[in-house]
Amino acid sequence: MSEETETDKQKQEECECPPTDSKKYEFIEDLPGVGPATSQKLRDLGYHTVESLAMATARELEPVGVSEKKAFQIIEAARSAIGISFVRADELYKKRQTVLRLTSGSKALDKMVDGGLETQTITEFYGEYGSGKSQFCHQLCVNVQLPPERGGLSGGALYVDTENTFRLERIIQMSKHLGLDPEQVVKNIIYAEAFTSDHQMFLLENADEIIKANNIKLLIVDSLTAHFRSEYIGREMLASRQQKLNKHMHKLIALARAFNAVAVVTNQVMAKPDQFFGDATHPIGGHIVGHTSHTRIYLRRASHGPVRIARLVSSPYLPEGEEILKVTENGIEDVTEEEKAEKTSKGRGR
């Protein structure tokens, strides 16, 4: 009896769905045609905000039980509220001015990526174990809380940890070096440990409300591929693994765009023994990860010491480049001219 009543409610909501306009909607219940029954089902699916609905597809709303027509109307209303439409290139240029940049902690690396890590895009750091991927993630969690004049975004961080590498002790060290209150810094980091690939996806699919409520400006998944790599073994499982990875990364970019946040993923690597020339180290995830990551940075250790080499492998508009930096007790820092000269002289000596 209750199921019939709920179906009747949804049909009534569908009939009352008016044409969309550019009205600003704050909650999903404010959208035309979304009543209590539909809103609850949307929340159960992980759509808690208007921004997340604007990035959805009609097929993704099928489990709600609404018709395709109504799904399109709901999504269109959400998109009109945040301004998603065709625009001229000059208007797009003006919109691009809303893209913000987050400092990495290294001036050399910031220069290589045109001023810092972009919001509304995914930046991927990949490299071997110990190359500094998680160190960058910790540093960014602190840097995002800096004011804009110091290269930050005055926001919080959401950290999805899949390898149990997050350490508060490191956050405190970096915070003190930057003159920030460690107690306040750790309050602005929302942390979750993912135990399986499905759990990892679930966390991101239900993150929109937390992002909005906590002014999150940095989304981190460290590491993106660890669970997928261990759970989907063999060629027969490759297709399903890639499909899930694709869905996961598209959810991440949708959140980054909806909330104007920086999205960062770390990635493991594999060696290709049949490659005799060049670097045989390649990131996991294949073309799916490669196409979805807008900026890819390859990290590797120098021959000794805290020095790391960061290479810009892929970017939509920047040329390839390479910079050296170091990972110290203070965090990510630039290498001094004296250290560069010493490294060069040692290289020549060999």
Domains along the sequence of the chain with CATH: 2-82 (1.10.150.20), 99-349 (3.40.50.300)
Cα 9 from Cα 29, distance rounded (Å) = 14
Q: In whole angstroms, what is the distance from residue 244 CA to residue 228 CA?
A: 9
Smallest Cα–Cα separation from 106: which of 312, 285, 293, 263? 312
Close Cβ partners of 336 (under 8 Å, ≥ 6 residues apart) = none
Contacts of 57 (CB under 8 A, 6+ apart): 75
CB-based contacts of 299, cutoff 8 Å, min separation 6: 125, 126, 127, 131, 132, 133, 136, 308, 309, 310, 311
Q: What is the pLDDT of residue 288?
A: 83
How far is it, in rounded angstroms, from Cα 278 to Cα 172? 39
- The pLDDT score that the predictor gives to residue 19 is 47
* pLDDT value at residue 95: 79
How far apart, in whole angstroms, are the C-alpha atoms of residue 295 and residue 160? 20
Nearest to 123 by CA among 138, 111, 136: 136
The residue type at 37? A
Whole-prediction pTM value? 0.79
pLDDT (tens, 9 = 90+) of the chain, 350 residues, equals: 444 455 555 555 444 444 444 567 888 999 988 989 999 999 988 888 888 888 888 888 989 988 888 999 999 988 888 776 677 899 888 878 899 999 999 999 999 999 999 999 999 999 999 999 999 999 999 999 999 999 999 999 999 999 999 999 999 999 999 999 999 999 999 999 999 999 999 999 999 999 999 999 999 999 999 999 899 988 888 888 899 999 999 999 999 999 999 999 999 988 776 665 666 678 888 888 988 899 999 999 988 789 999 999 999 999 999 999 999 999 999 998 877 766 656 655 55
Q: What is the pLDDT of residue 20?
A: 44
